[in-house]
Structure 1
Amino acid sequence: MAEFVVNAQRFDAYKNFKFRIKWGSDYVAGVSKIGALKRTTEVVKHREGGDPSSSRKSPGRTEYEAITIERGVTHDVDFEQWANKVWNYGSSLGLEVSLQDFRKDLVIEVYNEAGQLAIRYKVYRCWVSEFQAMADLDANANAVLIQHMKLENEGWERDTAVTEPSEPTFTEPQS
């Protein structure tokens, strides 16, 4: 088990607007939103025969919720190519799904205000269950065109090799 070193100078929680996502060895450009990492463990209730007035609880199956990713539409086709590995419309029989490589492991990184890596999560065996190539088009709007992707996954864990950074400070000028 990794030992955590606490930064005694930090009192504020990390902000949610400095992050990056990576699959393979490449960072994904233009990502503006990543959904929460959430898992739920079922509760298994059971009773003992000699104790009819109360039940006991124990953990059951754990499920990991899908993660959503949003980014502005660009000429980068990575999202669409990955989505097509799950279902490629118009393919011939036996080629609809790329079974060999439709899953990817992801890395989600959170940075502090100074741009230092603070937290990293590894998300395992992700695949695209929903893909929206672009949002509604509206001639009266003034907004960025967004792609949306929903990723099923089989679990995630915090990378304990990433320790809390030593935060920078500015020195006062000498008078």
Structure 2
Amino acid sequence: MPDSHGPLRQTEFKVELDGVGIPGFVEIELPAMRTEQVEYREGNDPSHNRKLWGDTQYDDLILVRGANEKNKELYDWRKSVNEGKMDDGGRKNIAVIVMNEVGDSVLRFEFTKAWIKEYRPPTLNSHGGGGQGNLATEEYVITFDEMERKNV
């Protein structure tokens, strides 16, 4: 039975691209969300400004994935963006799902009209040695129109 009294673990997650599960991710950096502060004061107001809200802005979503010859979905998506095919597969919806200890989906972050703005191929080093730090990973930097957090 999962521990429902503590926080979720950061090690249990999965990714969906347009509703289809995509395996192989080793790290995900979820973006911060902030709302712009706008200061406003009318001539007859007290000597301090009122704080109003402005546009909502998001940082980028960053996905890190183990590099191998089978993982080409994201690279193909990046290629369609690079070729300017934004209306023909360039924009997609992504979901990052956080799971509890028994593998049940409990928290979902949805990103709409997303596209890959940057691809970072693996860094290679012949003097690496062993261990997890020597795994070849690819990094995808993704921008999007809107983010929503949902309980599942």
Give the TM-score of the pair, scaled to structure 1. 0.77
**Unpaired stretches in structure 1, ≥5 consecutive residues:** 1-8, 88-95, 163-175
**What are the within-5 Å matches in structure 2 for residues 7-156 of structure 1?**
10-75=4-69, 76-87=71-82, 96-100=83-87, 101-134=89-122, 136-141=123-128, 142=130, 143-156=134-147
**Deviation, structure 1 residue 99:** 2.4
**Deviation, structure 1 residue 65:** 1.3
**Unpaired stretches in structure 2, ≥5 consecutive residues:** none
What is the rounded CA distance, in whole Å, between the counterparts of 1:85 and 1:133 in structure 2? Answer: 17
**Deviation, structure 1 residue 20:** 0.1
Larger radius of gyration: 1
What is the aligned residue count? 144
DSSP 3-state at the match of 2:90: coil
Q: Which has the higher strand share?
A: 2
> 1:82 is matched by which residue type in structure 2?
W
Give the TM-score of the pair, scaled to structure 2. 0.88
Runs of 4+ in 1 over 3 A off after TM superposition: none
Q: Which has the higher helix share?
A: 2
Residue number in structure 2 paired with 1:91: none
User: How well do the aligned residues superpose, as a CA RMSD in angstroms?
Assistant: 1.4
